[in-house]
Structure formats: structure tokens, C-alpha cells
């Protein structure tokens, strides 16, 4: 059997990783400022993380949600404390797509409605409802197409108000990334997020904050939407939640009522996944990683703005987009092949930086030096 060929793979085999450094099978060292799509939050193979998972695996790795799993309650308690949402409840699953799927489903159960408002250049996952709310026709199969999702221009307040006037009593939820990742590191404006909150309250709709990539401390706040000073009804999480171990979840406001069988999953919230997630929260709190993300991110953003060739620097904390002109579209590839630095991209010419939250100014300077070299080459 061969692999189903759907990934344009870079021909580098990483066999070892520590912190923000990775090595290939030839022993070549690379700086990782992408973390496999914003997944590595506390650095590769963090000692506390490795010990927590190892200790848990030596006890029990998995059992289903048909028994008591106390580490789930531990995770929920810590998540409430670190996120500032202690009155919310937690449903655990396995990925960001599954988190958004359950968020959209729960909103529909709660309201009894079908319509969803999503936005241009959004990405919410590749499963049924999540991909239907994703603005990329190339990955939406015919079976996923639906008239129930209304796409609006991102940050367009007038279009949002018009849509609520037209569909108000039919709108189950509004789903939005605080900062779009795949869409090119584009930040939802404070007035726009406040308007979503206001209209959802007015029409009885559910505000879903997709925090899969932009959340979990990456922007300097736990949920990226927090900068707007409003609370969403549901926050979806994954990526940095397990530092590479598959786990996702939704934080659910007190307005929702649970009932047996309403949501469910086989693997979600298993012992091993929860051990990984608890250790991540331990390190985020212990090492003040949200504060570090804000400080190092601000430094990087300000320094990057000094380069004349850069069209725009967008983002917040350690979720940064560097938009380059077409003639510099080669820079991302050159950073990897010539400077041994992993970064991400958003089409057509945006370099995405999504490093571990514990990178230092020294690592930031290493990137800035390499970036300057590539611009001058």
C-alpha cells in the first residue's frame, strides 16, 4: 500500500527536536518558527511534557468516556483558570475541525436554527460543517455544499448588519477567527467583534470564536478574541492545546444545557491526551508564556516593519504575517534551504511565523538577520 498523495511534502526528514531546534537525518540543524501549523506551543520535547506523557502512559493511556477519567476535570479546572473563563464548561475531542464541528452543532441544537454566518478567507477545518463554513471551494466537496452557510466580507460591519436584518431569526451562529491564519494573518477589528456580540444577543444567535490556530496564548491573550473585550458563547481549541498530541475542545458558556448523548466522541478526553494538555497549561502558567508571546511578538513586529521591501506586517503576539511583493515570493523557500529556518505561508506571498510561545529575543534576532540576508540577496 502507498500513501494517498494529498500533501506537497518538503523533502526533509526531521528525526530529532528540542525547543525551537530540529535536526534532519543527516544531522543538519534547523530553526523551527512554524511549529507544524502553530501546534508546538511550549517547544518540542519539553522535559515536563515528555515526563507527564510518559508517566501517564505507564499507568493507562486510554479508556472511553464510559468511565470516570479524573484528569479531565483537572484539565477543565486549569483551563478555566488560565483562560479566565472559570464558569465555562469543557467538551473534549481530537482536532480543530472536530471542535468547530461540535461548536456549530451545539449552536444549532441550542437555537433550533440552521443558518451560519462565516467570512471571506475563513478556514475552520475539513470535516462536514467545518469545511462548509470554510471559504475555499477547492476543498468543499459537492456533499458539503449547503445554502445554510452565508459568507460575508471579513470586517464588513454594514454587510453583517444587513445579513442579520435579512436572516436574523434563521441564524444559528456566527463563526469567526480572531486572527485568520490560512487567510493571511488578518485580524478581526474590535468594532467588528463587538458588533457580532451585539447582534448575536439581539437575535438570539450564538457567537463562536474559532481559536484553533489563533488561541491558546499565541497572541498574548489566551483567546485571541479577548482583545475586543467581549465574550464569545463558544471557543474552539486544538493545535497548541497538546503541543503535538492530538486533542481539541470547546469551551462552552453557562447559557448552554448539557444532556446525555448531545455530543460524543470515542477518543476525545482520553488519559494520554489530557496529560499532554495539562502539562502544556502547567508550562504556559509557570513560564508566563502569554506575556512572553506578547513581548517577543511585539519586538518582531516592530523590527519587521523597518524593512522597506515588506508591504505589510500583520498579526499580534507570535502569530505574524509578513506580506511581500511577488518578486520576493522566493524568500520563504530560501529561508528554509539557505538559512535552515522553517516558516509557513499564506498564498500568494505571505510568510507566516507561528513559533513556540517560549522563543526568546535572541531567536527573533536570528530570524531577523536571516530575513535581511534574503531580502538583500
Give pLDDT tens digits for 303-341.
999 999 999 999 999 999 999 999 999 999 999 999 999
On whether both 33 and 118 belong to a single domain, the answer is no
> Is the per-residue pLDDT at 262 higher than 90?
yes
> Is the per-residue pLDDT at 254 higher than 90?
yes
pTM for the structure as a whole: 0.97
> Is the per-residue pLDDT at 223 higher than 90?
yes
On whether both 193 and 58 belong to a single domain, the answer is yes
On whether both 26 and 52 belong to a single domain, the answer is no
Radius of gyration from C-alpha coordinates of the chain? 20
> Is the per-residue pLDDT at 34 higher than 90?
yes
> Is the per-residue pLDDT at 347 higher than 90?
no
On whether both 304 and 174 belong to a single domain, the answer is no
Which among 236, 263, 286 is the end of a domain?
A: 286
How confident is the model at residue 216, as a pLDDT? 97
Assigned domain for 253 exists: yes
Domain count, the chain: 2
On whether both 124 and 161 belong to a single domain, the answer is yes
Cell (9 digits) for 61: 493511556
On whether both 21 and 123 belong to a single domain, the answer is no
On whether both 265 and 148 belong to a single domain, the answer is yes
Assigned domain for 282 exists: yes
Per-residue model confidence as pLDDT tens digits over 46-93: 999 999 999 999 999 999 999 999 999 999 999 999 999 999 999 999
CATH at residue 339: 3.90.1150.10
Cell (9 digits) for 258: 448539557
Which among 286, 304, 334 is the end of a domain?
A: 286
On whether both 34 and 52 belong to a single domain, the answer is no
Which among 235, 263, 286 is the end of a domain?
A: 286
Assigned domain for 76 exists: yes
On whether both 281 and 302 belong to a single domain, the answer is no
On whether both 176 and 198 belong to a single domain, the answer is yes
On whether both 31 and 98 belong to a single domain, the answer is no
Per-position DSSP letters for 17-61, written without gaps between them? EEBTEEEETT--EEEESSHHHHT-SS-BT-HHHHHHHHHHHTT--
> Is the per-residue pLDDT at 202 higher than 90?
yes
How confident is the model at residue 309, as a pLDDT? 97
On whether both 226 and 309 belong to a single domain, the answer is no
Q: In the chain, how long is the greatest CA-to-CA distance?
A: 61
- Using 50, 70 and 90 to split pLDDT, how confident is the model at 377? confident
Cell (9 digits) for 224: 485571541
Assigned domain for 4 exists: no
Assigned domain for 2 exists: no
Q: What is the domain extent for residue 65?
A: 48-286
Assigned domain for 7 exists: no
Assigned domain for 206 exists: yes
Assigned domain for 251 exists: yes
Comparing CA positions, the residue from 361, 208, 370, 213 lying closest to residue 299 is: 361
Kindly provide the b/e burial profile for residues 295-322, where b requires at least 16 CB atoms within 10 angstroms of the residue's own CB. bbbeebbebbeeeeebeebbbbbbbbbb
Are 250 and 91 in contact, with CB atoms under 8 Å apart?
A: yes
- Using 50, 70 and 90 to split pLDDT, how confident is the model at 213? very high
Q: Where are the alpha helices (DSSP H) in the chain?
A: 35-38, 47-57, 70-83, 96-111, 128-132, 157-167, 190-203, 271-286, 289-304, 331-339, 361-376
How confident is the model at residue 77, as a pLDDT? 98
- Using 50, 70 and 90 to split pLDDT, how confident is the model at 221? very high
CATH at residue 170: 3.40.640.10
Amino acid at each position: 500500500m502507498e500513501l494517498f498523495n494529498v500533501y506537497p511534502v518538503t523533502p526533509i526528514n526531521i528525526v530529532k527536536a528540542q525547543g525551537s531546534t530540529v535536526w534532519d537525518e543527516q544531522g543538519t540543524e534547523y530553526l523551527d518558527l512554524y511549529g507544524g501549523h502553530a501546534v508546538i506551543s511550549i517547544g518540542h520535547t519539553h522535559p515536563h511534557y515528555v515526563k507527564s506523557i510518559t508517566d501517564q502512559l505507564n499507568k493507562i493511556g486510554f479508556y472511553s468516556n464510559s468511565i470516570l477519567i479524573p484528569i479531565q476535570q483537572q484539565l477543565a479546572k486549569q483551563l478555566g483558570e488560565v483562560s479566565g473563563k472559570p464558569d465555562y464548561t469543557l467538551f473534549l475531542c481530537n482536532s480543530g475541525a472536530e471542535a468547530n464541528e461540535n461548536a456549530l452543532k451545539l449552536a444549532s441544537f441550542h437555537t433550533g436554527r440552521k443558518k451560519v454566518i462565516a467570512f471571506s478567507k475563513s478556514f475552520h477545518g475539513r470535516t462536514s460543517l467545518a469545511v462548509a463554513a470554510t471559504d475555499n471551494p477547492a476543498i468543499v466537496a459537492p456533499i458539503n455544499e449547503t445554502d445554510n452557510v452565508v459568507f460575508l466580507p471579513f470586517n464588513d460591519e454594514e454587510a453583517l448588519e444587513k445579513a442579520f436584518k435579512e436572516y436574523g431569526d434563521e441564524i444559528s451562529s456566527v463563526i469567526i477567527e480572531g486572527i485568520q491564519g490560512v487567510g493571511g494573518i488578518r485580524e478581526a477589528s474590535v468594532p467588528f467583534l463587538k458588533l457580532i456580540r451585539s447582534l448575536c444577543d439581539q437575535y438570539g444567535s450564538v457567537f463562536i470564536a474559532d481559536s484553533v490556530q489563533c488561541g491558546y496564548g499565541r497572541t498574548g491573550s489566551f483567546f485571541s478574541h479577548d482583545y475586543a473585550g467581549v465574550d464569545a458563547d463558544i471557543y474552539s481549541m486544538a493545535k497548541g492545546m497538546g503541543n503535538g498530541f492530538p486533542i481539541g475542545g470547546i469551551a462552552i458558556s453557562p447559557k448552554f444545557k448539557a444532556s446525555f448523548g448531545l455530543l460524543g466522541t470515542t477518543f476525545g478526553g482520553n488519559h494520554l491526551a489530557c496529560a499532554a494538555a495539562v502539562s502544556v497549561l502547567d508550562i504556559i502558567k509557570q513560564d508566563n508564556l502569554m506575556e512572553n508571546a506578547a513581548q517577543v511578538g511585539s519586538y518582531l513586529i516592530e523590527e519587521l516593519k523597518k524593512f522597506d521591501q515588506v508591504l505589510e506586517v500583520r498579526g499580534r503576539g507570535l502569530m505574524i504575517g509578513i506580506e511581500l511583493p511577488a518578486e520576493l515570493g522566493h524568500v520563504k523557500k530560501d529561508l528554509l534551504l539557505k538559512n535552515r529556518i522553517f516558516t509557513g505561508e499564506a498564498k500568494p506571498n505571505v510568510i507566516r511565523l507561528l513559533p513556540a510561545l517560549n522563543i526568546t529575543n535572541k531567536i527573533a534576532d536570528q530570524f531577523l538577520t536571516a530575513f535581511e540576508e534574503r531580502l538583500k540577496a
